[in-house]
Structure 1
Amino acid sequence: MKCLASTLRTSLAAGALVIVAVMTMSPPARAFDGTYAPHGGTGVSLIGNNVNFTVVEANQTFDCKQFDLSGSVLDPDLSRPFGTSAATWDQIVASGCFNPTMGDTTFDQASTWGLAITGPEVGSVSPAAITDVAIFVEMNACSFNISGEMSGDFDDATGVFTPTGSTLTISDDPAGYLCPIIGLDRGLSIQVSGPLVISGLTITNP
């Protein structure tokens, strides 16, 4: 009986230490959290200056001097799982867009875009994705649609969103006789670069 009582006391003490260790973990270290909360007013904007869209396989670039979106924070201060939207953008102002071969180009938003945080914040930087991207691009005798999403890192201390990857593609058969001349075709991949700044939004991992 003494051996059994001693073993029981030892097990209880070990269990108590585990509970104390878990309780003293900082919130980001708790694997079971898996959530984040966006903070700010209802309005959130994405400001882009000299943003570059490159059709990789065709080596065609489209530069926009101004590429701005505005929208709303979704349920500010409420926690949600990683990958769930923090904000949506439904208005775009794109101007000064130009292709070296085709000249002036227009970019029209064709969907409501989203912003989702996809993993825990490290310092002030969170992995993020700009989702549900759809754009109608039109220039002289050539037009096409772009769709997909952009992954990146969002630093809520500076507001900078740095693109790190893209699933954007030309999502339909380009229309117009000049499209094949410059090598544009359905399925070609598109990379995005240039300074993108998100204002009106900060992130915490509850």
Structure 2
Amino acid sequence: MDRSARPAALALVRTYLATAVAAAALLVAGTAPAQAYTTYTPRGGPVTFVGTSISFTDIDAAQTFTCPTFNMSGSVINSGTSRSYGADAVTLGTLTSGGCSNPLSGPSTLNPSGTWTFAITGDATGGAWPARLKNVRLRMQAATCVFWITGVVNGQFNQSSGGFTPNTGPSGLKVAGGPDAPTGSMCLTLDIVADDNIGVGGYWQVSGLTITNP
């Protein structure tokens, strides 16, 4: 190439590269997801959670406890006030259960205790918000076996249907250890030990709660 033509050729190459970079940037900007929210606002109250086919399964021991009745009620915390994802939206101080049973041990007693809370944990997808029951604490007695279940229940809150459905598989609950570790001969028969993962089945129908962003 003639030395005198080199500057023009280099300028043409630079112009081409700049145009290509700009086009790529526009393409990325056009396909990037919308900015996610970081906060949400709960409204309503009083709030009720009415359980349908609620069950607790010790996944490691393959033992399931079904509870025909498992309901909760409470109130929205600072209705109409925005808060970060994961911060509590609802406090659930009234917890009732009954009729629980296990195929091996028979009728069982499940006593929820303390004050549970409910929170939205992220942006909605297809009308369903990732959500979580927190501060969960349950005392289970199956014949001579007594054990505690503690932790959280991760799931999805569908605003249209009003249902909170726990995620499939480990829910975030475990069999407690330490002073609340399983005791009683039936625990050996059921093979329930501390730190077992608990899955939660069924769903709760939620009323008195609406969620918006931000």
Q: Given that residues 142 and 186 in structure 2 are in contact (C-alpha distance below 8 angstroms), is that contact kept between their aligned partners in structure 1?
A: no
Alignment of 1:33-44 (within 5 A): 33-41=37-45, 43-44=46-47
Once residues 114 and 121 of structure 1 are traced to their aligned partners in structure 2, the CA distance between those partners, rounded to angstroms, is 19
Normalised to the residue count of structure 1, the TM-score between the two structures is: 0.81
Runs of 5+ consecutive residues of structure 1 not aligned to the other structure: 1-27
Note if 1:126 corresponds to 2:129: yes
Partner of residue 147, structure 2: 144
2: CA distance, partners of 1:141 / 1:186? 16
* 1:79 and 2:87 matched: no
**What's the counterpart of residue 23 of structure 1?**
none
Name the counterpart of 1:5. Answer: none
Q: CA deviation at 1:45?
A: 1.2
- 1:34 Cα shift? 0.9
Cα RMSD (Å): 1.5
Tell me by how many angstroms 1:177 deviates: 1.5
* Mapping 1:1-206, distance limit 5 Å: 29-31=34-36, 33-41=37-45, 43-164=46-167, 165-172=170-177, 173-206=181-214
Contact 1:36–1:204 (CA under 8 A) maintained in structure 2: yes
Identity %: 39
Deviations 1:103-162 (A, max 9, x none): 111111222111111112235321111111110111211111000111111011111112
For 1:38 and 1:116, the matched residues in 2 are separated by 9
The list of structure 1 runs, each at least 4 consecutive aligned residues, that deviate by more than 4 angstroms after superposition, is 28-31
Q: CA deviation at 1:99?
A: 0.6
Of Structure 1 and Structure 2, the greater helix share is in 2
TM, length-normalised to structure 2: 0.78
Contact in 2 for aligned 1:121/1:205 (Cα 8 Å): no
8 Å contact kept, 1:91–1:109: no
